[in-house]
Amino acid sequence: MVTGAGSGIGRAVAVELLRAGWSVALAGRRTETLEETAALVPKAASLAVRTDVTRPEDVDALFAATVGRFGRVDLLFNNAGTFGPGGVPVEELPYDAWRHVVDTNLNGAFLCAQAAYRQMKEQDPQGGRIINNGSISAHVPRPHSAPYTATKHALTGLTKSLSLDGRPYRIAVGQIDIGNAATDMTARMQTGVLQANGEVAVEPVMDVADVARTVRHMAELPLEANVQFATVLATGMPYVGRG
């Protein structure tokens, strides 16, 4: 199962898994974009389910449809997320904007992970894998990114707790932290983004397919092995260093 599968990293990961022979449930807010993702690998086993991950009833319906079609859930790529309003100082940030990012990035990830836990504990054979999409922001913030950065730090705590609690049930939980993958959401990196020193600079990006291959590697490990945290980033981006 891949959430946020209608575009960007979610689409790239879904396509990578479908091409590798996985049966994939594609979840997202827009049915038409999910169907576009499925059409990229037309002969593969896919299921498009319109889902708002902030709504518990939508998440329940997603898992019911997936189990009804495929019989079990072996993998959840918890990817759905939003940056929220960019460039807004914290003192000017509307509460509704904060709440939307928290509901999507953190509460949505929790609801999907909770549903995955329930299914993975009941199914036979028991177990499965959850991979949370963290971000470089799970380590360091960008200027004016309080909602996004706070949720990604929280997601790291969720990953650790889920990983610990999943041990008795053969549920492996890891996190991939991604920096500057080339998608529509990161297009601004190539025109200039605000840096910690107040300057605006163009940043390098990487092919989103490199992220997808990393997720596939994590997904295809036996449940006795787990990549707890992986960081995949454009080599020259300003993450390691000062300034």
- Backbone φ and ψ for 57, nearest 5 degrees, come out as -65, -35
Type of residue at 156: T
Type of residue at 4: G
> 3-state SS of 154-175?
HHHHHHHHHHHHHHHHCEEEEE
Type of residue at 242: R
Residues with catalytic function: 148
Give the pair of three-digit tokens for residue 219. 């997904």
The SS3 assignment for 75 reads strand
**Distance, C-alpha 4 to centroid of its chain:** 7
CB 206 within 8 A of CB 235: yes
- Backbone φ and ψ for 24, nearest 5 degrees, come out as -130, 125
Q: What one-character DSSP code corresponds to residue 104?
A: I
In 3D space, the residue among 152, 208, 206 whose CA is nearest the CA of residue 11 turns out to be 208
